[in-house]
């Protein structure tokens, strides 16, 4: 555990408040080293450089990254499928050597046809822990706090990000992922009196609804902070959460990306609640580029967040990584004293919705629907508010010659296949053949009926 006084405002003050030219110089020095390393050790990245007719010495500034082919989830998945292995040419060391030294295996949550796996060695895991501690410290969490963590400690990264941070800082943690359900979790909360919780916006609202059913006064729980992430949380939702728990200014939105591990967490709000701080600038380069372009965007313009990890050594997934997150960024100094830019996520570049921390891709549903011959090709994903939670219904058309007596069987089959792929259940509704929209160009599969201000498929 690191020794930081509860009165210290910053986990790494020399870095978080450094002049911008010093940060850039640090990043570009590390970028040169990283470019040389991945060219020498990653078969995939060496091929990417060679196809671009580049060598590592061609990368000397952040802007030079525009010359390198971009990485994104689809490129990653396609490479793994072509290689027929879990790591492919992204692995920079013989796997047996990595295992011999001790490593941590992680994975995406399984929301695409082939989950993407990640592996970190012990040194990277320590970097992961320190970067996570910095994020949690920026949120206001201090030694002596008690944190309630309903995220599972599995191959999914989110739970580990915060467990490591709590251990590093000196925060007592209550790990209450599955198999605990919401009612059981309230028993733990009443017993141990946590001051902090970390969860998704949907789940904290679900907890609030459950508390009302149980006759629990949310304002009496004693929470000081609620860290929320994993899905969009518009200002109206944050305000509602703060009102329900009597925590004015007590929410902190955060975001993270598995491919960037370490450090994984890419940003968090400080006490000003004025956008995500780029908290990991010593281990990550943040670029804000015009969508579908390599041209830098200006503050206030719509941009796509592109990230480069400077410290990945075992598996290089986070180099020149297009997140598909659409942002607006601000490079003026924050009132908290940190000099880092801040950004807000305004949407997704691709067609995906996140519900209760699970990413739902229209393309995955399409793949499942079209594997059942008795169903038509068209489908629609309807997202709407039901109580405090967002829900998705899958509307599909049985083929007109399908025996109606088989509809219950087919509905159960489709729901089961979706549950297997997503790990959450989505209700299926059969509609008359020909009643769903048809498209000549790109299909719009999502129908968003939510009325919450600022909600959007993301």
Quick one: pLDDT at residue 112?
Answer: 40
Q: Which residues contact 397 (CB under 8 A, 6 or more apart)?
A: 375, 376, 378, 379, 430, 431, 432, 433, 434, 435, 436
**What pLDDT is stored for residue 111 in this prediction?**
42
Both tokens of residue 40? 């020498």
Residue 147 confidence (pLDDT): 97
Pick from 345, 128, 381, 383: nearest CA to 228: 345
CA 314 – CA 41 distance, rounded (Å): 9
DSSP element (H, E) containing 420:
helix 407-422
Alpha-carbon span 290 to 258, nearest angstrom: 23
Name the 3-class secondary structure at 383: strand
Between vectors from CA 346 to CA 343 and to CA 351, what angle results, nearest 5°?
A: 130
Q: 1-350: which CATH architecture?
A: 3-Layer(aba) Sandwich (3.40)
Domain range list for the chain: 1-350, 355-448
The C-alpha atoms of residue 10 and residue 299 are separated, in whole angstroms, by 25
* DSSP per-residue string spanning 273-312: --SEE-TTTTTEEEEEE-TTSSSBPPTTS-EEEEEEESS-
Please tell me the CATH code under which domain 355-448 is placed.
3.30.300.30
State the pLDDT at residue 439.
62
Q: How does strand 358-361 pair with strand 251-256?
A: unpaired
pTM of the complete model: 0.77
Helix (H) or strand (E) holding 198: strand 196-199
Angle between helix axes 407-422 and 362-369 (nearest 10 degrees) is 140
Q: What is the mean pLDDT of each run of 10 residues along the chain (458 residues)?
A: 80 94 97 98 97 96 96 92 92 95 82 73 93 95 96 87 94 92 94 94 81 92 92 74 93 92 92 94 96 94 95 97 92 94 79 72 77 85 84 92 94 93 90 79 73 44
Going by C-alpha positions, the residue among 116, 43, 45, 51 that lies closest to residue 77 is 116
Taking a C-beta distance cutoff of 8 angstroms, is the pair 357, 364 a contact?
A: no
pLDDT at 432 (0 to 100): 93
């Amino acid at each position: 555990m690191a020794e930081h006084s509860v009165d210290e405002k910053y986990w790494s003050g020399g870095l978080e408040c450094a002049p911008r030219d010093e940060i850039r110089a640090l990043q570009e020095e590390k970028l040169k080293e990283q470019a040389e390393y991945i060219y020498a050790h990653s078969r995939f990245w060496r091929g990417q450089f060679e196809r671009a007719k580049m060598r590592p010495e061609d990368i000397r500034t952040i802007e030079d990254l525009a010359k390198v082919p971009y990485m994104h989830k689809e490129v990653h998945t396609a490479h793994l499928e072509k290689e027929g292995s879990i790591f492919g040419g992204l692995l920079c060391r013989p796997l047996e050597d990595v295992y011999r030294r001790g490593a941590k295996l992680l994975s995406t949550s399984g929301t695409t046809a082939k989950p993407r796996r990640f592996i970190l060695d012990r040194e990277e895991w320590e970097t992961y822990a320190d970067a996570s501690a910095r994020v949690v410290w920026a949120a206001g969490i201090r030694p002596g706090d008690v944190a309630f963590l309903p995220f599972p400690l599995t191959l999914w990264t989110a739970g580990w990000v915060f467990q490591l941070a709590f251990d590093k800082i000196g925060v007592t943690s209550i790990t209450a992922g599955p198999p605990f359900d919401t009612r059981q979790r309230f028993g733990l909360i009443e017993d141990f009196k946590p001051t902090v919780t970390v969860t998704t916006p949907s789940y904290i609202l679900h907890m609030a609804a459950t508390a009302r059913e149980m006759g629990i006064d949310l304002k009496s729980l004693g929470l000081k902070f609620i860290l929320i992430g994993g899905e969009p949380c518009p200002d109206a939702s944050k305000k509602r959460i703060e009102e329900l728990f009597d925590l004015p200014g007590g929410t902190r939105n955060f975001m993270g990306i598995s491919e960037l591990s370490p450090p994984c967490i890419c940003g968090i709000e400080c006490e000003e609640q004025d956008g995500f701080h780029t908290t990991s600038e010593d281990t990550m380069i943040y670029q804000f580029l015009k969508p579908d372009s390599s041209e830098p965007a200006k503050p206030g313009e719509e941009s796509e967040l592109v990230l480069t990890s400077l410290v990945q050594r075992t598996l290089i997934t986070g180099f020149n990584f297009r997140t598909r997150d659409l942002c607006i960024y601000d490079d003026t100094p924050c009132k908290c004293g940190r000099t880092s830019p801040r950004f807000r996520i305004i949407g997704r570049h691709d067609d995906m919705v996140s519900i209760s921390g699970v990413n739902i891709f229209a393309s995955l549903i399409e793949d499942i629907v079209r594997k059942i011959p008795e169903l038509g090709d068209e489908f629609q994903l309807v997202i709407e508010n039901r109580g405090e939670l967002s829900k998705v219904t899958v509307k599909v058309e049985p083929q007109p010659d399908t025996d109606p007596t088989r509809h219950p069987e087919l509905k159960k089959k489709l729901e089961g296949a979706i549950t297997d792929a997503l790990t959450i259940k989505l209700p299926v509704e059969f509609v008359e053949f020909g009643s769903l929209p048809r498209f000549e160009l790109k299909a719009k599969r999502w129908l968003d009926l939510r009325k919450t201000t600022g909600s959007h498929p993301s």
